[in-house]
Amino acid sequence: MYHTEKILFFILSNLALASIICGRLKGMNKREKKVTQLVELIKSKRDIEEMINSLPKGYISVKKISGRTYYYRQWREGSQIKSQYVEEDFLNGVKAKIQLRKDNEALLRIIKHDLRNVQKNILKNNYLTIEQVMILKENVSKDALNKNERQEALENYLPEYVDTKLGKAYIEGISSYNQMLVDKWMK
């Protein structure tokens, strides 16, 4: 039963992502659609990686010592296996988090596969150059800065851009900045 639920989770996740992308793609040409798909997949990859990094890795090990049962979360760091005692009250929560991490890791593999395919298509059809794809990937990963941090960074490192259209788009948010770059490249 659990395996069926897992497959259903992946299908629904991909359908949700596809419906979000398709809803935004109406009225766009093929080039715009592919670039939008690329940006959405990059965002999804970043978000899932953040989720994975926030969850515990490993598995639950059960040990019986002197007739008592003890639970440990175990995981590998390099060649060493690390172990952490888990109180019985927290066992179900830890198990759920470990399983959520595994489900997200599987989903990440699917998204990476889709990302490679969309990127290959974009490069093959000359919609963007490899340099432009790399800029989009880098910028989407920097989206964690808030507006004030972006303003401060621009003022400190590139003050000549603060009052430009490019600078204002960057301050408003990476997605605005990326959209401006994409619009520029589409011309």
| 159 vs 169: CA distance, rounded Å | 14
Burial string for 143-155 (b: 16+ CB within 10 Å, else e) reads beeeeeebbeebe
Total-model pTM: 0.63
What are the structure tokens assigned to 178, written together? 């990326």
* Secondary element (H or E) of residue 76: strand 68-77
- The alpha carbon dihedral of 168, 173, 178, 179 has a sign of negative
Closest CA to 3 of 99, 98, 73: 99
Sequence spans of domains, the chain: 2-141, 142-187
Each residue's pLDDT expressed in tens, for the chain with a length of 187 residues: 444 444 444 444 444 444 444 444 455 678 777 877 887 888 888 888 988 999 999 999 999 999 999 999 999 999 999 999 999 999 999 999 999 999 999 999 999 999 999 999 999 998 888 887 887 777 766 655 566 766 666 666 556 656 766 566 655 654 554 555 555 555 5
- pLDDT for 20: 45
| 61 vs 49: CA distance, rounded Å | 25
